[in-house]
């Protein structure tokens, strides 16, 4: 659930709910941009020429990077880039990443000018890119819509060893299908490889050091770069930090706790609203929401031409918790389910989270499958789960979140699906020696809890924590001017906020 949810996305969500249509998420694919010819030997990613061409209001380019960084002179893949030129005299380039994993950096660049600070936009050429395996870059493919829905959307229970065995087999079969459709790339879309790609981009745009702003999972990407290339770090900001050094179970527990807290704050807000459909008691209201999602596993609710099951209910609920500006749509969705026993709005919200077109049911990007594959590659290898492990994990999730714990507990991780990266970052000891890094944490962030911002700041060693006291996921561009001024002060002027600054 490490997804960036900007004000631009909140506006699109508002349009989605109010007009019952899915926002256009067509990605930029500049067909007239020259490509570097793929090679089978002797390739040097750093020696290619970066050529920009006009695409709508931005500039676009295509570069080649090694398919496998363990064989850097071998077969190549494409990366698509776009650029929002500086409004003033550029001091350099600022690379941005929206999170995910699986989020489109091309999409982020298109909206970035609407919420970024004027000083930043004046000082930098802002560059977005679709990471390897994502979107318009050489993509991961795991099959048709029906295949992805069966794996991602279908509700499965894990109450017996037979059900756990079936889940392990589904994981293995899905991975095999992804490999058949994607090829060798499937094993090379890990975060370390993406960070190495970022260094190529840094060199090709002519920057001695990487200036970077990463959101959510983008903070993992940035911290990974700092660990790999500590002497190449320039002005770096990590907003909504992911503590990826934690075990996957502990990361899940942190998110479960975060979403429970955000939902509780939503309930308290809703209870003050005139038409709130929830009980006046907070615990009873949370139980209502729990039942809406949990009961849909056995009894899906019709909505927007589909049957909204437990998974879709949870996706529809959590997507609104990424920004308090979207709470009103959760209120409307819950009212519809509780009072009319239909789920038109909830279905649209879930489709928005999954990048599905609410009219056709087709996925508008590969972000959902890219999220799964990249997460598994980055995850620590572990044995196949059995019922005892599942029950232990369920108990941990239900303690962390009485409302969502049952849902978190239906995941058995990646297991032994032969999707493990050749290289993983298990320490940030080298990153601690770099130029200072600014970490931004939101006190009530559901997807990347505030305590992760605190721990990542400590792990980096030479970092400062900037705090936004508020709701929602990440802070820059969706919180207040104080955050913009502090972040731009570091990125543009090299002035780090004072330790302990709270906005």
Residue 237 has pLDDT above 90, yes or no: yes
The 10 Å Cβ neighbour count of residue 443 is: 15
Give the pair of three-digit tokens for residue 5: 């949810």
> 129 forms bridges with which residues in the sheet?
81
Q: Does 7 have pLDDT greater than 80?
A: no
Write out the H or E segment, with its range, that includes residue 83.
strand 76-84
- What interhelical angle do 367-378 and 161-182 show, nearest 10? 110
What's the DSSP call for residue 70?
T
| Averaged pLDDT, 3-17 | 39
Distance CA(45)–CA(79), nearest Å, equals 11
What is the reported pLDDT for 17?
Answer: 37
User: 154: how many CB neighbours lie within 10 A of its CB?
Assistant: 11
Element (H, E) at 441: strand 437-444
Report the distance separating Cα 330 and Cα 312, nearest Å: 13
Is the per-residue pLDDT at 488 higher than 70? yes
Give the list of residues 6+ apart from residue 479 with CB closer than 8 angstroms, or none: 442, 468, 470, 472, 503
Lowest mean pLDDT among 30-44, 292-306, 414-428: 30-44
Sheet of strand 58-66: strand arrangement = 53-55, 58-66, 76-84, 124-129, 92-97, 210-215, 233-239, 437-444, 463-471
Q: What is the pLDDT of residues 429-480, one digit of tens each?
A: 999 888 899 999 999 999 999 999 999 999 999 999 999 999 999 999 999 9
- Give the pLDDT band of residue 413 (cuts 50, 70, 90): confident
Q: What is the pLDDT of residues 30-88, one digit of tens each?
A: 223 223 333 445 789 999 999 999 999 999 999 999 999 999 999 999 999 999 999 99
Lowest mean pLDDT among 268-282, 387-401, 412-426, 464-478: 412-426
Please tell me what DSSP assigns to residue 78.
Answer: E
How far is residue 141 from each of residues 100, 174, 184, 292, 315, measured CA to CA in Å? Answer: 16, 11, 12, 33, 22
User: How many C-beta neighbours within 10 Å does residue 16 have?
Assistant: 20
pLDDT exceeds 90 at position 9: no
Task: Count CB-CB contacts under 10 A for residue 255.
Answer: 25
Query: How confident is the model over 125-157, as pLDDT tens digits?
Result: 999 999 999 999 999 999 999 999 999 999 999
Q: What is the dihedral of CA 367, 309, 19, 370, to 10 degrees?
A: 0
Q: Which residues neighbour 184 within 8 Å (Cβ) at sequence distance 6 or greater?
A: 67, 68, 75
**pLDDT tens, position by position, 239-256:** 999 999 999 999 999 999
Where do the DSSP E strands lie in 251-335? 301-303, 306-308
pTM of the model: 0.92
Predicted confidence at residue 381, as pLDDT, reads: 82
Which tokens in the block code for residue 481? 């001017």
Looking at residue 41, its pLDDT comes to 59
User: 417: pLDDT confidence band, cut at 50, 70 and 90?
Assistant: low
User: If 0-12 CB within 10 Å is exposed, 13-18 middle and 19+ buried, where does residue 140 land?
Assistant: buried
Strand partners, 312: none
CA 136, CA 26: separation in Å to the nearest integer?
Answer: 10
> What's the CA gap between 255 and 248, in Å, rounded?
11
* CA 485/CA 336 separation, integer angstroms: 41
The answer, yes or no, to whether residue 12 has pLDDT greater than 90, is no
DSSP annotation string for 359-375:
TT--BSSSHHHHHHHHH
Phi, psi of 91 (to 5 degrees): -90, -5
* CA atoms within 13 Å, Cβ hemisphere of 163: 13
Domain 7-136+190-245+426-493 = CATH 3.30.2320.30: no
Show the CA angle centred on residue 290, arms to residues 259 and 11, nearest 5°.
50
What is the average pLDDT across 407-425? 84
* 302 backbone dihedrals φ, ψ, rounded to 5°: -65, 140
Task: Write the DSSP symbol of residue 502.
Answer: B
For the stretch 91-133, pLDDT in tens is 999 999 999 999 999 999 999 999 999 999 999 999 999 999 9
The span from the CA of 457 to the CA of 439, in Å, is 6
Report d(CA 109, CA 277) in Å as an integer: 38
Residue 182 has pLDDT above 80, yes or no: yes
Counting residues of the chain whose pLDDT is more than 70, the rounded percentage is: 91
């Amino acid at each position: 659930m490490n997804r960036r949810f900007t004000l631009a996305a909140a506006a699109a969500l508002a349009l989605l709910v109010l007009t019952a249509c899915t926002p256009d998420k067509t990605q930029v694919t500049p067909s007239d941009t020259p490509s570097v010819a793929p090679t089978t030997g002797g390739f040097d990613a750093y020696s290619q020429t970066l050529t920009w061409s006009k695409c709508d209001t931005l500039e676009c380019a295509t570069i080649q990077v090694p398919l496998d960084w363990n064989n850097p002179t071998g077969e190549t893949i494409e990366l698509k880039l776009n650029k929002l030129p500086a409004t003033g005299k550029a001091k350099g380039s600022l690379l941005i990443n929206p999170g995910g994993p699986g989020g489109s950096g091309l999409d982020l660049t298109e909206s970035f000018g609407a919420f970024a600070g004027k000083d930043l936009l004046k000082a930098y050429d802002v560059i977005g890119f679709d990471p390897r395996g994502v979107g318009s870059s050489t993509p991961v493919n795991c099959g048709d819509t029906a295949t992805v829905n069966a794996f991602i959307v279908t509700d499965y229970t894990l109450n017996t060893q037979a059900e756990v065995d079936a889940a392990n087999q589904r994981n293995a079969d899905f991975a095999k299908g992804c490999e058949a459709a994607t090829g060798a790339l499937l094993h090379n879309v890990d975060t370390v490889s993406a960070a190495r790609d970022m260094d190529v981009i840094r060199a090709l745009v002519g920057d001695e050091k990487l200036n970077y702003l990463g959101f959510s999972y983008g903070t993992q990407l940035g911290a990974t770069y700092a660990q790999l290339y500590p002497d190449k770090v320039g002005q770096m900001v990590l907003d909504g930090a992911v503590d990826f050094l934690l075990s996957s179970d502990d990361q899940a527990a942190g998110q479960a706790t975060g979403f429970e807290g955000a939902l509780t704050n939503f309930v308290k807000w809703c209870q003050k609203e005139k038409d709130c459909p929830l009980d006046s008691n907070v615990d009873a209201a949370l139980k209502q929401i729990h039942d809406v999602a949990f009961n849909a596993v056995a009894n899906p609710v019709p909505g927007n031409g589909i049957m909204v099951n437990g998974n879709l209910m949870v996706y529809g609920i959590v997507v609104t918790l990424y920004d308090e500006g979207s709470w009103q749509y959760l209120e409307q969705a819950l009212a519809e389910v509780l009072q009319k026993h239909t789920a038109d709005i909830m279905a649209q919200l879930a489709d928005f989270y999954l990048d599905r077109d609410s009219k056709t049911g087709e996925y508008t990007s590969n972000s959902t499958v890219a999220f799964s594959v990249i997460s598994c590659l980055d995850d620590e290898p572990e044995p196949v789960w059995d019922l005892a492990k599942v029950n232990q994990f369920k108990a941990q999730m239900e303690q962390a979140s009485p409302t969502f714990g049952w849902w978190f507990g239906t995941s058995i991780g990646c297991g032994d699906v032969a999707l493990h990266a050749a290289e993983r970052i298990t320490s940030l000891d080298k990153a601690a020696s770099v130029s200072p890094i600014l970490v931004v944490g939101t006190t009530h962030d559901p997807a990347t809890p505030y305590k992760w911002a605190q721990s990542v700041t400590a792990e980096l060693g030479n970092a400062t924590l900037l705090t936004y006291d508020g709701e929602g996921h990440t802070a820059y561009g969706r919180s207040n001017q104080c955050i913009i001024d502090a972040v731009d002060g570091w990125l543009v002027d090299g002035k780090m906020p004072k330790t302990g600054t709270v906005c």
